[in-house]
Amino acid sequence: MPVPIPRQRAIPAAEGGQAHAAPPHDSTAPAHEGSNTNHSSTHSTAHSATGHSATGHNNSVSSNGSGLSLLVIEDDPAGSLSVPELLDSAGKPIRIRTARNLTEAERLLTDDVHCILLDLALPAPGTAEGDEDELVALKHVLRLAPRHAVLALTANDDSERGAEAVRVGAQDYLFRDELDARLLSRAIRYAVERKRADAAQRQLTESRLRAQENARLERGLLPTPLLEGSPLRFAARYRPGRSRALLGGDFYDTVRTPDGSVHVMIGDVCGHGPDEAALGVELRIAWRALTFAGLCGDELLSTLQKVLEHERADDEIFATLCTVDIAPDGRRAGLCLAGHPSPLIAREGRLAELLPYEDGGPALGLLPRARWPRRQVELGGKWSLMLYTDGLIEGRIGQGTQRLGQDGMVEMVRRQIAAGLQGDELLEAAVNEVRDLNGGDLTDDVAVLLLDRTPGAR
């Protein structure tokens, strides 16, 4: 079921990669804004170089152009700090808000603010005079505004403190007595762009880490055949249809039980998404556990259908399945088909052919009380048994609508066996030829595995 997502603040322009539009420039309109009308000393100081008067209108940005907004946080009762008129790269005024303390700053820190200019001498709430941490105000602002660009303002003889502010998280630092329009405007633009670049790099890193983690998880969910003590040779190829995925809705497994029997299974959950891949893993693990518990044939498939019915996302999800249990002597096997293509067998001295499939049952999840008869087949002394999903036979041939189909697959494998291919080489050649006939990557998941019995071979 979907997980509720909490409502969040809109991402500011510094991180979202988009600048807010600026209102049309009017020579009579103020370029600076204050926190409220009671801060006359701060406003007069901030506007001394511009000749503009403060107003109380909201710092909203219209859609007629782009612009930047600066929040100045400083307590300057002497009025020594003068913020000049600032222009962005497009020649539009950079709007300025002022706050005398962090409490006012928190109220003025809306999403249309792009950059913060913080006086490092400003005390933070709850700190005592003489606090050893000289950057406590900066750390408070960084916690308060993690998505905004921050410029630190420090005294001319305190470059060490400014450098430490950058190490803590500010984008740059400026000297109080060297502020001019060109320097400050450039510093604001640089800080905003650096914050945006840092956010993009962080998102890219997080995406890569998630992809690596998903790959490790999917790799760990792929089966490891348990055939210790068996003379049979095993090979498999697996190609999910989902882009950049390692795991699809196809699944397979092979185990040897204590009595010497070898059990092999291949299946296909309808669909290609992560939910189908997860269901395929659940069915594979359930099959392995039930097989080791001694179940086979109709009893095994009936139990797997119950697992599918309880785990699927909706009632329309089904899965095809083919199971083969090979006797300890390797000469006979029991075959069960649940809506799945019949395996192909290549016996010594005979052409490769499909095993009988007339007695197959429906796919798992379609009929609540279905039955799956187990058919006994003779394998012979030396043989190769290939199980596959429909992704191997449903690829197109050329530009038309014709599909390869089972007959085309049989002819292809016969030709490859005649050329001397076997084991991994045979599977690789088969999958590659199907892809080439399709004119490119297959859209469906493809799983194909091969068991070989060659008496006397190591």
Instruction: Report the pLDDT value the prediction gives residue 292, as an integer from 0 to 100.
Output: 97
Instruction: Report the pLDDT value the prediction gives residue 414, as an integer from 0 to 100.
Output: 97
Least confident range of 62-66, 275-279, 320-324, 342-346 = 62-66
Q: Is the pLDDT of residue 33 over 70?
A: no
Instruction: Report the pLDDT value the prediction gives residue 219, as an integer from 0 to 100.
Output: 62
Instruction: Report the pLDDT value the prediction gives residue 97, as an integer from 0 to 100.
Output: 87
Q: Is the pLDDT of residue 50 over 70?
A: no
The CA-based dihedral angle spanning residues 275, 281, 287, 292, taken in that order and rounded to the nearest 10 degrees: -150
CA 401 remoteness from chain centre: 34
Instruction: Report the pLDDT value the prediction gives residue 144, as an integer from 0 to 100.
Output: 86
Higher pLDDT, 220 or 330: 330
The per-residue pLDDT for range 315-351, each reduced to its tens digit, is 999 999 999 999 999 999 999 999 999 999 999 999 9
- Alpha-carbon distances, residue 108 vs 72, 250, 348, 395 (angstroms): 10, 55, 83, 61
Starting at the edge strand found earlier in the chain, the sheet holding 233-239 runs 233-239, 446-453, 383-388, 344-347, 353-354
Residues 6+ apart with CB under 8 A from 283: 251, 267, 269, 304, 307, 308, 319, 321, 364
Q: Is the pLDDT of residue 304 over 60?
A: yes
The per-residue pLDDT for range 111-169, each reduced to its tens digit, is 888 899 998 888 766 655 555 677 888 999 999 888 899 999 888 878 888 899 999 99
Q: Is the pLDDT of residue 32 over 60?
A: no
Q: Report the amino acid identity of residue 398.
A: G
CA dist 67 and 89 (Å) reads 9
Length reported for the chain = 458
Return the percentage of the chain with pLDDT > 70, whole number.
Answer: 78
Q: Report the amino acid identity of residue 213.
A: E
Q: Is the pLDDT of residue 386 over 80?
A: yes
CA dist 312 and 379 (Å) reads 36
Return the percentage of the chain with pLDDT > 90, whole number.
Answer: 46
| pLDDT confidence tier of residue 217, bands split at 50, 70 and 90 | low
Beta bridge partners, 268, equal 250, 320
Instruction: Report the pLDDT value the prediction gives residue 300, as an integer from 0 to 100.
Output: 97
332-338 vs 319-326, strand pairing mode = antiparallel
Instruction: Report the pLDDT value the prediction gives residue 232, as an integer from 0 to 100.
Output: 96
Q: Is the pLDDT of residue 40 over 60?
A: no
CA angle centred on 391, ends 387 and 393, rounded to 5°: 75
Q: What is the pTM of this model?
A: 0.59
CA dist 387 and 377 (Å) reads 15
Q: Are 263 and 223 in contact (CB under 8 A)?
A: no
**Mean residue pLDDT across the chain:** 81
Tokens of 69: 């907004």
Q: Is 305 helix (H, G, I), strand (E, B) or coil?
A: helix
Q: Are 119 and 105 in contact (CB under 8 A)?
A: no
Question: How many angstroms separate the most distant Cα atoms in the chain?
Answer: 103
Q: Is the pLDDT of residue 38 over 70?
A: no
Higher pLDDT, 146 or 54: 146
Instruction: Report the pLDDT value the prediction gives residue 45, as an integer from 0 to 100.
Output: 36
386 phi and psi, to 5 degrees? -115, 120
Least confident range of 46-55, 140-149, 263-272 = 46-55
The per-residue pLDDT for range 69-117, each reduced to its tens digit, is 899 998 764 455 566 677 777 777 888 888 888 888 888 888 888 899 9
Q: Is the pLDDT of residue 10 over 50?
A: no
Q: Is the pLDDT of residue 366 over 60?
A: yes
The per-residue pLDDT for range 390-441, each reduced to its tens digit, is 999 998 997 778 999 999 999 999 999 999 999 999 999 999 999 999 988 8
Closest CA to 115 of 9, 43, 15: 15
CA-only gyration radius of the chain, Å: 35
Instruction: Report the pLDDT value the prediction gives residue 66, as an integer from 0 to 100.
Output: 52
CA angle centred on 290, ends 286 and 292, rounded to 5°: 120
Residues 6+ apart with CB under 8 A from 33: 54, 55, 56, 57, 59, 95, 96, 97, 98
Closest CA to 444 of 187, 238, 213, 259: 238
